Structure 1
Amino acid sequence: SCCCCVFQVIGTPSEETWPGVNSLPHFKPDRFTVYSPKKLRQAWNKLGYVDHGEELASRFLQCFPKNRLSAQAALNHEYFSNLPPRLCELQDISSIFTVPNVKLQTESGDSIQVCARRNSQGKASSGGKH
């Protein structure tokens, strides 16, 4: 099942890692192989190429809901520290490309990422990697 694939990466939940999991109606501990958690970059190696990417992803991928990072708290995570502050001030319907020096940058393969970089004075400059 899909749960087994997730458990292979983040570990099979137990009462120690998720208090009350054994009492959940659809959780049958005897039906799951017990896996230990591993680094997320072992499953998705690109997480190791982006500053703070693996740490942010691991804060979101928590079985125990109370341990998950909230979206509001994530906005203050170091992963976003290289982005211009004006991105956080945009209205919901505004394009991120109205912020100076924000552009798309292709990676190897087909994926595209938004990038911007600050210079030593804290201002955004183009041409950086995020």
Structure 2
Amino acid sequence: MLTIDLKQTDLSTSDEIKAADNYVQELGLAPLGAGWKELDKAAAEDSLTQLLHLSQAYHDELLPLSTAQELAHFFLGLFDSYNASFYSNGIFGPSSSSWNPLTESTFDKAVLVMDHEAIGIICVEDED
């Protein structure tokens, strides 16, 4: 299952972790508190590309790599690159991953992005 959501809002005075938790709860996902992992933009783009490209359970191709890269780049481009913050629910490497679950699914990976005017997430769930 793939969830993509974007919400216009004023986050200029919000605590980022609290804003992230409130937002994911609105979507029916679990709040993570200190379980959010802050990323830089390059790591966020790499993580998004990976989660859109390959399934988590069996590493089957979900989207061609070039399409996954384009979608990741487009999604991050929706936010002010000078004021954006990037978070993930875990650490995702080519050979191993560790994460804090947002869903009841066996696997889930998410990248959440916020700036002063918007917050958005791409979350991919998978079962084995």
- TM-score bucket of the superposed structures, by smaller chain: under 0.3
For CA contacts below 8 A with separation 6 or more, give which structure has more relative contact order: 2
Higher share in strand = 2
Higher share in helix = 1
Larger radius of gyration: 1
- Give the structure-2-normalised TM-score: 0.26
- Give the structure-1-normalised TM-score: 0.25
